[in-house]
Amino acid sequence: MVCALGIEGSANKIGIGIIKDGEVLANVRRTYITPPGEGFLPKETAKHHREAILGLVQSSLKEAKLQPADLDVICYTKGPGMAPPLLVGAIVARTLSLLWAKPLLGVNHCIGHIEMGRLITGAQNPIVLYVSGGNTQVIAYSNQRYRIFGETIDIAVGNCLDRFARIIKLSNDPSPGYNIEQLAKKSNRYIKLPYVVKGMDVSFSGILSYIEDLAEPGKRQNKRKRQQEEEVTDYSQADLCYSLQETIFAMLVEITERAMAHCGSNEVLIVGGVGCNERLQEMMRIMCEERGGKLFATDERYCIDNGLMIAHAGAEMFRSGTRMPLEEAFVTQRFRTDEVLVSWRQD
């Protein structure tokens, strides 16, 4: 039985989680929320994390009813993510490791999402759709690696949603993507947008530019666009949110279905912050049922960045014999999913 404390702080959320032999003992989190129309910058995000992290560590131990001596390993997000926020988690993890004389493990953020999803849902060997603000990947496990079958070639799907929310000045509380989802429910008027699937990869930057022109036609600069502007019907924000979701989610369903067919799988697991979106889950569920498959998804407690997923992935690594010297306890902004040896799986 391994009892692990995990620290996640790769983006605008700082979370601490404690897990013991697959049992959730604590999962606390704070989110850095910026004003409408603004994103979160690395320096300010790191400041938020520094101010919150020690209180969250204390809260997690209190919620778990544990003392530091009860822990077996301290885990932190090694990457990918924004460097300043990542460093906050790494420095605190190193400090706790030394103070409490506990082993230290750096965890791949993407692997944390996958293993947390598998634990909560019970999915055995699914095709994984990993969708978040910084990542968009279709993944399948093979020979102790999570292999990337397809991914975005520019921006992540969550980044596309977040940036469009900023364009139309939606609130960032609780999250831009959630507010787009709620606004989309008020419309069923579909506006044709670019649909960009290139083999197993997807692209969202052109879609974002196109829908930005529809949302803010007054910003168009060239003559051709000004001429077209007169022919464009006014679209409500709800129409635009609905159409954006339907288009980009259809792209994700397509490449996920293709991965299912290639691997002969009948399971799909959606992980990452965008995985909370009920419309994405509905579309994916329809596709899975048509193929005689099953969809697995989690709620916001586990699909949004959290320390618990880092604790669980770290516990699996520790149980399988993985160890990390203090000298290797750094962070990296680029840390691909398929770089990690999945030593805890033998299937």
Question: What CATH number corresponds to the domain at position 287?
Answer: 3.30.420.40
Q: Establish whether 49 is an annotated binding residue.
A: no
| 276, 190: one domain | yes
Q: Establish whether 172 is an annotated binding residue.
A: no
Q: Does the pLDDT at position 244 exceed 90? A: yes
Please report whether residue 344 resides in a domain. no
DSSP-assigned beta bridge partners for residue 213: none
Q: CA 195 → CA 201, 204, 308, distances in Å?
A: 12, 9, 36
Q: Establish whether 181 is an annotated binding residue.
A: yes
| 105, 129: one domain | no
Q: Establish whether 131 is an annotated binding residue.
A: yes
Strand 23-31, strand 73-79: pairing: unpaired
Across residues 86-91, what is the average pLDDT? 98
Q: Among 79, 82, 94, 2, which Cα is nearest to 45's? A: 82
What single-letter amino acid sits at 178? Y
Q: Does the pLDDT at position 136 exceed 50? A: yes
What single-letter amino acid sits at 343? S
225 confidence band (pLDDT: 50, 70, 90): low
Chain centroid, CA 99 distance in Å: 31
Q: Establish whether 305 is an annotated binding residue.
A: yes
User: What was the pLDDT predicted at 234?
Assistant: 84
Please report whether residue 176 resides in a domain. yes
User: What was the pLDDT predicted at 230?
Assistant: 46
| 245, 330: one domain | no
Q: Establish whether 307 is an annotated binding residue.
A: no
Please report whether residue 255 resides in a domain. yes
Q: Establish whether 264 is an annotated binding residue.
A: no
Q: How many C-beta atoms surround the C-beta of residue 347 within 10 A?
A: 9
Q: Establish whether 277 is an annotated binding residue.
A: yes
User: What was the pLDDT predicted at 223?
Assistant: 46
Task: Name the percent of the chain lying above pLDDT 70.
Answer: 96
| 286, 308: one domain | no
Across residues 272-289, what is the average pLDDT? 98
Please report whether residue 346 resides in a domain. no
| 274, 308: one domain | no
| 190, 232: one domain | yes
DSSP-assigned beta bridge partners for residue 29: 15
Q: CA 3 → CA 18, 98, 265, distances in Å?
A: 7, 17, 33
Q: Three-state SS across the chain? A: CCEEEEEECCCCEEEEEEEECCEEEEEEEEECCCCCCCCCCHHHHHHHHHHHHHHHHHHHHHHHCCCHHHCCEEEEEEECCCHHHHHHHHHHHHHHHHHHCCCEEEEEHHHHHHHHHHHHHCCCCCEEEEECCCCEEEEEEECCEEEEEEEECCCCHHHHHHHHHHHCCCCCCCCHHHHHHHHHCCCCCCCCCCCCEECCEECCHHHHHHHHHHHCHHHCCCHHHHHHHCCCCCCCHHHHHHHHHHHHHHHHHHHHHHHHHHHCCCEEEEECHHHHCHHHHHHHHHHHHHCCCEEEECCHHHHCCCHHHHHHHHHHHHHCCCCCCHHHCCCCCCCCHHHCCCCCCCC
Give the range of the structural domain holding residue 142, as residue numbers without chain letter: 124-302
Q: Establish whether 134 is an annotated binding residue.
A: yes
HSE value, Cβ hemisphere, 13 Å, CA-based, for 231: 5
Task: Name the percent of the chain lying above pLDDT 90.
Answer: 94
Domain tally, the chain: 2
Please report whether residue 323 resides in a domain. yes
- Token pair 């596709």 in the structure block, residue: 287
Q: Does the pLDDT at position 180 exceed 70? A: yes
Q: Establish whether 32 is an annotated binding residue.
A: no
Across residues 270-294, what is the average pLDDT? 98
Phi, psi dihedrals of residue 213, rounded to the nearest 5°: -60, -40
| 186, 263: one domain | yes
| 271, 324: one domain | no
User: What was the pLDDT predicted at 228?
Assistant: 55
| 178, 285: one domain | yes
| 233, 331: one domain | no
| 183, 268: one domain | yes
